[in-house]
Structure 1
Amino acid sequence: MQKFTLTLAAASLLVAAATSASAADGRDYISMVGSSTVYPFSTAVAEQFGKTTKFKTPKIESTGTGGGMKLFCSGVGVDTPDLTNASRRMKKSEMETCQKNGVNEVTEIKVGYDGIVVANSKKAKAMQLTREELFLALAKEVPSPEGGDKLVANPYKTWKDINKNLPADKIEVLGPPPTSGTRDAFVELVMDEGCAAFDAIKALKETDKKKFKSVCQTVREDGAYIEAGENDNLIVQKLEANPKSLGIFGFSFLDQNADKIQGATIDGQEPTFDNIAAGKYVVSRPLYIYAKNAHVGIIPGIKEYLAEYTSDRAWGENGYLADKGLIPAPKEERQKFADIAKNMTPVTLD
């Protein structure tokens, strides 16, 4: 009887081991989700990685930064992503969700920089805008055109209504949804900054911070701003179809479609590679990838993929990602994050 019990126990162990092996065998490639802005860079690295190593080409999905974080932080296991792209830094609340679901160690790698552009079709005249004008065009509430401290529902219908030197075209801007890191960064770098230029709103910062934030960051919902999903290529196509509309997306998509679209000058600076790299173009931000440390050694090739990503041939000043529109980080910063990737040093968010 004892011998029979031992045999059952051994059988149970064998079944468990077989199930575990089967789960691991269920995915022998890297799964990556996240930002549509970082997507083309991670895809370029994945293609190079698949061609030059023994590992399978990673599967990259464009889900938006927020959507990617949700999937990434949903747990540990082969049915969850190993990596996620992000066009903003991970939020503390997202890290808390990760940890609550057992994703305890995450490695953060800043891969470079990007500009956020406001672009239109080359069939139309290039726009010259300021952050204040963009705020007035897109905010739900704005200072009354009649003056004073009163805030009113956005009355502006055309660009000329805001500035007589702008075209009399209807305000129609195609942009990313709230789940997008590009949307987060646009709100922070354009809406917040443009908003603070008005004394009537600036005063709220001292008296009612919640109202100040709401006024600065709430986008109008009357059709002037159109959420176009996470597919930046679709925005490019719509700009071609409607030359009077504008679109918001990362510099790399402008760079890749320079034959069809053009970037607006913002606060006197054009969205060019050199201007973003030099810090002259104000609407720029860092880009990130995040790796799930618990999957290293379980899913094959994660450390090797990160090694390719953080190599000079990829993200260096003359690397193939610069050809795709990525603005390389300074050499010292690249070395810092290459070391973090090599050692899989977990991030601690402030």
Structure 2
Amino acid sequence: MKPIAVTSIGLAAVMAASISTAHARDQIRIVGSSTVYPFSSYVAEELGETTDWPTPVIESTGSGGGLKLFCETNDMDSPDITNASRRMKPSEFDRCADNGVTDITEAKVGSDGIAFAQSNENDSVGFTRKQIAMALLEEVPVDGELVKNPHKKWSDIDSSLPDREIRVYGPPTTSGTRDAFEELVLEAVTKEMKEYGNKGYANLRKDGAYVDAGENDNLIVQKLEKDTDAFGIFGYSFLDENSDKLVGSDIDGVAPEPEAISKGDYPIARSLWFYIKNSHSDEVPAMADYVDLFMSDKMTSDLGALKGIGLITLPQAELEEWRKSVDDRVKLKKSDLE
């Protein structure tokens, strides 16, 4: 028998097939928001238990950190999906485009409130957003001028507040929760104040009143159990999950409750998202099943499993619109974000 001749064209085809096989993988790689992490993890575990796909690998990097990794490259060693507790910024879209990540689909999955909470060993305390801002901003107005924040205790700001040292554990700059807190509390307050030129100001104190506690919201919960004088900033789902240990504060007279968050009455509420790198879909076929499961009635509807672990669900009509957009893999445009 003569040996089979392999032409240069045939060899190239074999090599291409080998490379394609090497690049293809079963396991989805997900990064992003610590707030979305519990919901994404629940879906991932369900996918692993109910299909032949392995459970996706999920890393809690924060919204900003996740989008940075997601937008870095189209290479197959980059994330397939990134979670975010705020919408992608136009500048992040540009970064993706500059790196060739141009086929992205956006999915909105629900809403979340940002809790301002403490150990339930204390009586509940209500705050206005202005009181929180005056406690945490690096510079505050005194006699009509901005000065380095002199407030040591909450009672220095208002005698009705606790006579306790100001100490707040919160997320780092890579976190979508931090972005939303700065926008919805700090900037919202300072835009209404002439001392700041009616412009948003969000520089936080660096003297220990605000403590960057990292991306893991569970660590903040643990710190509040030990440091009962302190307050913490994290997503509502973590407050709901730890209601036996923590008590949330009313903000501007509104309690952090699902109905108030869903209706937008709670003043520190934001939307939750994930972003799909469509260029990976052929090489990572499990992505389609994961996305379908996340957007399904079984997970994100008013009767879905994720509501049971703290997701504030979208109105049904809006959910159906997002499902169609995701099913059709509608390509995200920069104008969508502006």
Q: Verify same fold: TM over 0.5.
A: yes
Q: Which residue of 1 aligns with 2:52?
A: 54
- Cα deviation per residue 1:10-57 (whole Å; 9 max; x = unaligned)? 334423431331122xx3111110000000011111111222222222
- Cα deviation per residue 1:53-99 (whole Å; 9 max; x = unaligned)? 22222111101001100110111132011000000110111111111
Q: CA deviation at 1:5?
A: 11
Q: Pick closer, same or farther for the CA change 1:5–1:97 going to 2, 3 Å.
A: farther
Matched AA of 2:167: E
Alignment partners' CA distance in 2, 1:290 and 1:235 = 26
- Cα deviation per residue 1:132-163 (whole Å; 9 max; x = unaligned)? 0011001011101xx22x11110100000000
Alignment partners' CA distance in 1, 2:10 and 2:330 = 38
Equivalent position SS for 1:217? coil
Alignment partners' CA distance in 2, 1:20 and 1:333 = 38
* 1:167 and 2:183 aligned: no
Q: CA deviation at 1:278?
A: 2.7
Normalised to the residue count of structure 2, the TM-score between the two structures is 0.95
Q: CA deviation at 1:279?
A: 2.2
Q: Which residue of 1 aligns with 2:258?
A: 273
- Cα deviation per residue 1:220-279 (whole Å; 9 max; x = unaligned)? 111100000101000000000000001000000001111111111110011011221232
Q: Decide whether the 8 Å contact of 1:134 with 1:194 is kept in 2.
A: no
Q: Which residue of 2 aligns with 1:240?
A: 225
Q: Percent of aligned pairs with the same residue?
A: 46
Equivalent position SS for 1:321? helix
- Cα deviation per residue 1:110-135 (whole Å; 9 max; x = unaligned)? 10000001110011222210000011
Q: Which residue of 1 aligns with 2:282?
A: 297
Q: CA deviation at 1:167?
A: 1.1
Q: Decide whether the 8 Å contact of 1:303 with 1:342 is kept in 2.
A: no
Q: Which residue of 1 aligns with 2:176?
A: 181
Bigger mean CA deviation after superposition, 6-15 or 102-111: 6-15
Query: Pairwise mapping of residues 65-214 of structure 1 onto structure 2 (< 5 A)?
Result: 65-144=63-142, 147-148=143-144, 150-201=145-196, 204-205=197-198, 212-213=199-200
Q: Decide whether the 8 Å contact of 1:55 with 1:300 is kept in 2.
A: no
Alignment partners' CA distance in 2, 1:7 and 1:293 = 34
Counterpart of 1:342 (choices 310, 327, 334) is 327
Equivalent position SS for 2:150? coil
Alignment partners' CA distance in 1, 2:298 and 2:146 = 52
Matched AA of 1:239: L
Matched AA of 1:223: G
Alignment partners' CA distance in 2, 1:340 and 1:334 = 10
* 1:309 and 2:304 aligned: no
Alignment partners' CA distance in 2, 1:15 and 1:338 = 39
Normalised to the residue count of structure 1, the TM-score between the two structures is 0.92
* 1:251 and 2:268 aligned: no
Q: How many residues align?
A: 333
For structure 1, the residue ranges without an aligned partner over 5 or more in a row are 206-211
Equivalent position SS for 1:170? coil
Q: CA RMSD in A?
A: 1.7
Q: CA deviation at 1:290?
A: 0.2
- Cα deviation per residue 1:162-194 (whole Å; 9 max; x = unaligned)? 000111111000000111000000001011122
Q: Which residue of 1 aligns with 2:20?
A: 20
Q: Decide whether the 8 Å contact of 2:105 with 2:326 is kept in 1.
A: yes
